[in-house]
Amino acid sequence: MTKILAKELKGMKITANCVAPWPVATELFFAGKTEETIQKFVDVVPFGW
């Protein structure tokens, strides 16, 4: 949806951005975290992992 909005607003000097309301499972997210810490994040994500 963000990509479509960005295309619609092209040339109007308006940008479209997207923010994830919870952590995203990327290498950066997992770096330096214990399994226990990761599980705490997973437990609070309403849609599961």
Report the C-alpha gap between 29 and 38 in whole angstroms: 9
Encode pLDDT of 1-49 as tens digits. 899 999 999 999 999 998 877 788 899 999 999 999 999 988 888 776 5
Nearest-CA neighbor of 45 among 15, 23, 17? 23
Give φ, ψ of 5 to 5 degrees. Answer: -60, -40
> So what's the pLDDT on residue 49?
57
- Beta carbons within 10 angstroms of residue 23's beta carbon: 16
> So what's the pLDDT on residue 37?
94
> So what's the pLDDT on residue 45?
80
> So what's the pLDDT on residue 48?
61
Taking phi first (over 0 means left), then psi (-120 to 50 degrees means alpha), and beta for anything else, what does residue 39 get? alpha
> So what's the pLDDT on residue 36?
97
> So what's the pLDDT on residue 4?
94
